[in-house]
Structure 1
Amino acid sequence: MTEAQQGPRARYREQTRAEIKEAALRQLADGGVAALALTRIAKDMGLSGPALYRYFANRDDLLNALIRDAYDDAATAMGVAAARSEAAGHGPRERLRSLATAYRAWAIGEPHRYLLIQGSPVPGYVAPADTLERARAVLGPFLPVFAGGAPGAGVAPVVAQMAAWLGSESESAVGDWVAEYAADVTGDPAASARALAGAVLAWAQLHGSVGLEAAGQFVGMGHDGDILLAAQTDMLADAFALG
């Protein structure tokens, strides 16, 4: 239902929920998850505690919304980067660089949101099941990049593990994920395994570098995060012989 089709009460509710989430994001930016306090959000917004709980049942309910939004926004950024690179006629290596650059740009632009979904687990919090699908949407554009690669010996064990994962009867959703983003490899187990191995390795490389930068660990060191990430991306492209 569009905003124009909603009644005034529904529009007010959505507006208030959005304002609560913005207040929560400011707290996250100031002090991380430990600073998130619904009572302080209510006070800052001029709401009573019971009034705020009409919009979010508890802290975890609010975290669910923030995490879903973060994954969805990151997935949108990756999808835009993938579409632009494809439209420009880039080959797999350049497409990988474009995706890595977009991933870092989103994370460094909003480090508090990146660390919310990729940082240390929140004590006592259990993320809803649908966050897995959202996380896969962030990584999905990497799958077709690696499907046509020629993995070298260094990454062959990962490809073998991904082939076994794809072949597991209990993991049919993984095959569906690959097929959604790399339709050309449907029915080709070897290409699907290459695609999945490349995406998983890209995720590990990206998070290792970008996560450290987002957490401020590069301060005082003699390198730039973009240069480091470019070097890592090229090494991964070499490992899959991407052209």
Structure 2
Amino acid sequence: MTTQTTTTESRRDRQRAATEAEIRGVARRQLAAHGMEGVSLRGIAREMGMTAPALYRYFASLDDLVEALCADLFGDVSDVISAALDDAGEDLAARMHAAIRAFRRWAVEHPAEFSMMFSREHDDLHGDKPEEPLRFAALFFELFLTMWRAQPFPVPPADELNPAACAQLAEFAGVHGVDVEPGALWVFARSWVRLYGVICMEVLGQLGFMFSDVQPYFEAELAAVAREVGIAYVPPA
């Protein structure tokens, strides 16, 4: 009896997981085609041939579905970045350039997904952060730490930095289980904001009034960051 019950429950679990994955897949197609405003539980239920009440048994609200979809998307982009790092080999300069270029390429190719992922708060430093956004952040932070430990670069002294901002950066580092001097964290934050800022503004179409092609400007910013962290700039292939 126990074996039969366990088998039945396992089958139900697999069926439920498959249905949840299908729901997220339909939501992603709607997102890519119509933006966030085009995603609705009723629309998904209609496309899947389900009733809306039946779909609510899998996701209690649209917000719950969006959080699950965000986890999938962070997993996808993290996989893309990880693959780029694997292809880059062990050279730190090549790895840094490969990772950020892979992220930019994915973002530009998936503007609706990017906009949804990065317009939401995925809990604060004091909450239980979802696994996939943490993994995404760790890819870049660990790469930066590897560069810092392998060949430390000049950083601003602590007495020149904003104490309140440094305290928050230290808390961020603590979430990832590392203890790094404030100046190095400051350079990481400044470098990330500089590059992510260009990517975000490009994806949101906020640089079109200056650039018909943002890539040359992005590469110039990437070269500046490379100089700041003491590695050679690697031109794109």
For normalisation by structure 1, the TM-score amounts to 0.73
Which residue, out of 137, 144, 147, partners 1:145?
A: 147
How does 1:20-59 map onto structure 2 within 5 Å? 20-59=23-62
Give the AA of the match of 2:228.
A
Extract unaligned runs of 5+ from structure 1: 1-5, 180-185
Quote the residue 1:79 is aligned against. 82
The aligned runs of 1:192-211 (5 Å cut-off) are 193-194=183-184, 196-211=185-200
Letter in 1 for 2:141: G
Check conservation: 1:42, 1:49, Cα contact below 8 A: yes
Residue in structure 1 matched with residue 115 of structure 2 by the alignment: 115
Identity %: 27
Q: What is the CA distance between 1:98 and its match in structure 2?
A: 1.4
Contact 1:24–1:41 (CA under 8 A) maintained in structure 2: yes
Bigger relative contact order, structure 1 or 2 (CA pairs below 8 A, ≥6 apart):
1
Which residue of structure 2 lines up, in the alignment, with residue 11 of structure 1? 14
Q: 1:222 to 1:126 in 2, by over 3 A?
A: closer
Residue correspondences, number? 220
Distance 1:141 1:154, change over 3 A: same
Deviations 1:165-197 (A, max 9, x none): 566xxx3x6236264xxxxxx7xx44x752x33
Provide the residue aligned with 2:99 in structure 1: 99
Q: Is the 8 A contact 1:166 1:193 kept in 2?
A: no
Instruction: Please tell me the residue identity of whatever aligns with 1:142.
Output: L
Q: 1:152 to 1:138 in 2, by over 3 A?
A: closer
Give the alignment of 1:124-203 within 5 angstroms: 129-131=128-130, 133-143=134-144, 144-147=146-149, 148-151=151-154, 157=160, 164-165=167-168, 171=171, 174-175=173-174, 177=176, 179=178, 189-190=180-181, 193-194=183-184, 196-203=185-192
Structure 2, unpaired ranges of 5+: 1-8, 233-237
Q: Which of 56-65 and 21-30 deviates more?
A: 21-30
Given that 2:30 and 2:38 are in contact with CA atoms closer than 8 Å, whether structure 1 keeps it comes out as yes
Q: Residue 139 and residue 75 in structure 1: after superposition, are their counterparts in 2 closer, same or farther (change >3 A)?
A: same
* Kept after mapping to 1: 8 A contact 2:31/2:112: yes
Give secondary structure in 2 for the equivalent of 1:21: helix
Residues of 1 paired with 2:118 and 2:161: CA distance? Answer: 22
Q: Provide the C-alpha distance between the structure 2 equivalents of 1:42 and 1:163, rounded to a whole number of angstroms.
A: 47
Write the deviation string for residues 73-123 of structure 1: whole angstroms up to 9, x where unpaired. Answer: 2222222223332x2x4243x33221211111121222222111113x48x
| Partner residue in 2 for 1:235 | 224
Using the TM superposition, give the Cα deviation of residue 149 of structure 1 relative to its aligned residue in structure 2, in angstroms. 3.8
Query: Is 1:70 the counterpart of 2:68 in the alignment?
Result: no
Amino acid at match of 1:49: A
TM-score for both structures, normalised by structure 2: 0.75
Greater gyration radius: 2
- The amino acid of 1:137's aligned partner reads A
CA distance in 2, matches of 1:240, 1:160: 22
